[in-house]
Amino acid sequence: MFEDVYLWIKALHVIAVIAWMAGMLYLPRLFVYHSEAEIGSKQSETFKIMERRLLKAIINPAMTVTWLAGLYLAWSGHWFSFGWLHVKLALVLAMSAVHGFFSRWLKDFAADRRPRTQKFYRIINEVPTVLMIFIVIMVIVKPF
């Protein structure tokens, strides 16, 4: 029975990670386009709605489920003594920090503040991808 629960939680974790990453890759792309839209325009207002819904309905819940399911898996699998998990957790903490920055920038856009350029958002869009690559390597390869 424990193995069945473990596998269901593992599936839930993977689903949540996919949803979180989809949002983390899409939101900064929206920021790129939003930064080019004229303040007060219909396009700018549409981006505000899209960004808010993406964060509130997908990214935030997916991150929460990712963390809860992942911690359960680490605990039940007795993984906390392994170095690869320590690195993975540090990387997931970094991803969570990026998530926090995205949330803050969304608030800036909602208030029509645009302190960063579209080039900044194009560059920052790559950060979740790099973190994801190293997280997957830690989980699959378990190099230490």
CA dist 135 and 92 (Å) reads: 7
CA dist 110 and 92 (Å) reads: 27
DSSP per residue, 92-142: HHHHHHHHHHHHHHHHHHHTT---S-HHHHHHHTTHHHHHHHHHHHHHHH-
99 is in an annotated binding site: no
Max Cα–Cα distance, the chain, nearest Å: 57
The three-class DSSP label of residue 77 is coil
13 is in an annotated binding site: yes
Annotated binding site: 13, 88
Annotated binding site for heme: 13, 88
